Structure 1
Amino acid sequence: MKVADIFLCLNVLLTAGALVNAFDPITTSVGVGLFAAVGRTIYKYFHESCDTKWIAFNATGLKTDLDEKLFGQHLASRIILRAVSGFMSNENPKKPLVLSLHGWTGTGKNFVSKLIAENVYKEGMHSSFVHVFTSTLHFPHPSLIATYKSELQQWIKGNVSSCERSMFIFDEMDKMHPGLIDCIKPYLDYYDKLDGVSYRKSIFIFLSNAGGESIVQTTLDFWKAGRIREEMELKDVETSLSLSVFNNNKSGFFHTSLIDKNLVDFFVPFLPLEYLHIVQCALAEMKARNLPPDMDVADQVAKDLVYFPKSERVFSVKGCKTIESKLDYYT
């Protein structure tokens, strides 16, 4: 039903309501029932609900976004597209989709999470079915880990009970207290239902700087060997990445059963960004602001950033993290 049709019905019913005293009780009951039905229709039309009107995966949209908006991340783009597309097209997955995104700051981890949400939920990151947890904000005190575990379990169970197509994003996993994340292991495992609730159609995304050093070293080795980064394959980084994350005693993944029991479907490496990628980020931000592309400004923004190794200045230390503020300065 179109919005105009809904308001037309509502107007007719309101007019009829003014004449309600002229009808017998039976007619009045029918009118009230019809009014309530239209009211429910209006509520469902404007209020987000767990159905295909509000949740519908756009595989083409995700591919386009990854191709046109994510720079220098051929591995991440390929893995994310295949993983999410395969999962969302499966009507009966055996377990939730669990992605662990790793890399230095500014390489695109949060951005990719946003792109996934925008191509699954009509409301994107503003959807009531997308839930973001930030370690330093939601789990700041080590002495309260037992409380956090209980609350986290209840929160996930309650939200998945309301909508099985829920998405949970855990940011700053490298700052989470070791052992805390293990409390959600049962929800990520191969169970049809737990206490009457199925978690198999939910998506869990972990974001972490942990493992970044391993990714940077592998990328640097490729560069020193004269090989282009696009030749790098997942097998070149996945094993060392998962091991470095698992053995990092300052990370929320330290000796976690999620890794030990192979419940993380994909460890997604985000490579350090080069000068060219920074320029692309600057141009993309101009486009997002409806500004005409200015290569000179983009080049100046890229030159202002800090790169490493110090002598060669190959990789950006902060990726595209500060592009927005830099662009504010130059425009």
Structure 2
Amino acid sequence: MSDADSSTSASLTEGEGGQGGRPAPSMSSFSSSLRAVVRIKQKYLAMKKRRQEAALLGLGPEGAPLGAPGRTSPRIFTFDGLPTFPSNVTQKKKKKRRKKVLYPPGGGRRAPPKQEQSRAKYCLYLLCAIVFLQVYNAIENLDDHVLRYDLEGLEKTLRREVFGQQGAVDGLLSHLKDYLSTYVHNKPLVVSLHGPSGVGKSHLGRLLAGHFRSVVGETLVLQYYVLHHCPREANAPRCARDLSALVSETVGRAEEEEKIPLFVFDEAEHMHGEILDALLQLVAAGRSNEHLNAVYLLLSNLGDRHVTRHVLHNSSGAAAAGRQGNLARELTPTLRDSLGQLHPLWAEAELLPLGLLEKGHVMECFLEEMTREGFYPDHTNIERLAGEIEYYPEVGGRQYSKTGCKQVVAKVNLL
């Protein structure tokens, strides 16, 4: 028996002797305690043996209990050493992912969800249709308003009966078309025709007044001749008051009929200062609405020297070919500066210069007048009558009349 057994038995004997008169434990309890001691001793020996073997083999750190996890340094993860798979495996996997979804039999293929459309889109369509109808209606109204004044007929009349002034006719028709295309304006239309005597200013004013009488009525057209209506300068204040009252009455009547009246002022170079002031107040933009819907035509020979000098200096070569179209553009700044010094009324007007008439234009005037009076239009007789007119010295192969067609009527009456 070993030392543990001897010590155990000694302690047991001492206990028996020291307990005095106590009864001794039974044999069964003694055998179970002995078995437990033996079992503990065997476990201790086995653990001791395993620790010694581990220390000899170097599998555990010194001083660390057996079974404790060993301390190791952290390891860095890399992709080195990972197993590689062939490319066809990944492709197969991708193909498997792209397979179509199968739906239960009998249910059919489900339709994709429909995107709901906003109701505001229909409102936008309706708004576009309304705007289109409004614009179309406005254009139709503009056409109706222009058709009321028959500007196409006026154009045919002016081109047929006005000779040598196609540039001025085009400018006048352009201003009338722009102004008469609507009934709402911020200022009246004021057109001033300037040129030497006999070039057709008064004739053009009579044609325009006759056309407007036929489309808007006799009462809405006023032809004012200064030398006839107000010949004396002493009566200028009274004439100015009467003219303002007459114009106000006419535009009031035109406002009731929703028409645009026409006022023709011939021989405007003889107008007195009071009459010019009255006209300036009538055409100013600060007047009431009915005074803004009117057409004023001023006819005068103011600036005739500028026109004559410009035509004679630019009547040769290629410059003469485009003279009619460039006359207004080239002379308007000069005329505006010259007329602005006379009265501020001319600053409110659209200036249209009329150039000199050539000998061919004078012959056309004779032909028109002889036809109107019932004479046979003999070309030889017309050429003889046209030769009796006084002309400027020939410039660039052209002869310009000093008096225009002013003496045509008197010479035809002598036939």
Larger Rg: 2
CA contact (8 A) 2:148 2:215 kept: no
SS of equivalent to 2:214:
coil
The yes-or-no answer on 1:185 pairing with 2:280 is: yes
* Aligned equivalent of 1:203: 295
Superposition pairs for residues 166-245 of structure 1, below 5 Å? Answer: 166-191=261-286, 194=288, 198-224=290-316, 227-228=319-320, 230-232=322-324, 233=326, 234-245=328-339
Residues 256-291 of structure 1 deviation map (CA, whole Å, 9 limit, x = unaligned) = 2223xx321x21111111101001111122333454
Letter in 1 for 2:359: Y
The yes-or-no answer on 1:304 pairing with 2:396 is: no
| Displacement after TM superposition at 1:189 (Å) | 2.2
* Aligned equivalent of 2:154: 62
SS of equivalent to 1:315:
coil
Superposition pairs for residues 75-224 of structure 1, below 5 Å? Answer: 75-122=167-214, 127-164=218-255, 165-191=260-286, 194=288, 198-224=290-316
Q: So what's the TM-score if we normalise by structure 2?
A: 0.58
Q: Sort the Cα spacing of 1:179 and 1:150 in 2 relative to 1 into closer, same or farther, 3 A.
A: closer
Q: CA separation in 1, counterparts of 2:317 and 2:306?
A: 17
> After TM superposition, which residue ranges in structure 1, 4 or more long, deviate above 4 angstroms?
310-313
CA contact (8 A) 1:219 1:229 kept: no
Q: CA separation in 2, counterparts of 1:119 and 1:134?
A: 18
Residues 105-159 of structure 1 deviation map (CA, whole Å, 9 limit, x = unaligned) = 21111111122223333179x9222212222222222233322222221121122
The yes-or-no answer on 1:282 pairing with 2:366 is: yes
Percent of matched pairs sharing the same residue? 24
In terms of mean alpha carbon deviation, does 307-316 or 276-285 score higher?
Answer: 307-316
CA contact (8 A) 1:132 1:169 kept: yes
CA contact (8 A) 1:56 1:122 kept: no
Q: CA separation in 2, counterparts of 1:56 and 1:116?
A: 15
CA contact (8 A) 2:212 2:221 kept: no
Query: Does 1 or 2 have the higher relative contact order (CA < 8 Å, sep 6+)?
Result: 1
Q: Alignment partner for residue 407 of structure 2, among 319, 322, 326? A: 322
CA contact (8 A) 2:185 2:292 kept: yes
Residues 80-115 of structure 1 deviation map (CA, whole Å, 9 limit, x = unaligned) = 111112212222222211111111121111111122
CA contact (8 A) 1:95 1:189 kept: yes
SS of equivalent to 1:306:
coil
* Aligned equivalent of 2:353: 269
Q: Sort the Cα spacing of 1:97 and 1:305 in 2 relative to 1 into closer, same or farther, 3 A.
A: same
Q: CA separation in 2, counterparts of 1:123 and 1:86?
A: 18
CA contact (8 A) 1:134 1:171 kept: yes
Equivalent residues, number:
263
Letter in 2 for 1:86: D
SS of equivalent to 1:273:
coil
Letter in 2 for 1:276: G
CA contact (8 A) 2:240 2:274 kept: no
* Aligned equivalent of 2:344: 257
**Relative to total residues, which structure has the larger helix share, 1 or 2?**
2
Letter in 2 for 1:81: L
* Aligned equivalent of 2:378: 294
CA contact (8 A) 2:149 2:215 kept: no
Q: CA separation in 1, counterparts of 2:167 and 2:371?
A: 25
Q: CA separation in 1, counterparts of 2:393 and 2:226?
A: 31
| Displacement after TM superposition at 1:310 (Å) | 8.2
In terms of mean alpha carbon deviation, does 84-93 or 102-111 score higher?
Answer: 84-93
Structure 1 unpaired stretches of 5+: 1-51, 248-253
Q: So what's the TM-score if we normalise by structure 1?
A: 0.72
SS of equivalent to 2:348:
coil
| Displacement after TM superposition at 1:326 (Å) | 1.3
CA contact (8 A) 2:195 2:353 kept: yes
Q: Sort the Cα spacing of 1:80 and 1:74 in 2 relative to 1 into closer, same or farther, 3 A.
A: same
SS of equivalent to 1:67:
helix
Q: Sort the Cα spacing of 1:90 and 1:74 in 2 relative to 1 into closer, same or farther, 3 A.
A: same
Residues 167-217 of structure 1 deviation map (CA, whole Å, 9 limit, x = unaligned) = 1111111112235312222321224x53xx612221111110111111111
SS of equivalent to 2:224:
strand
CA contact (8 A) 2:263 2:295 kept: yes
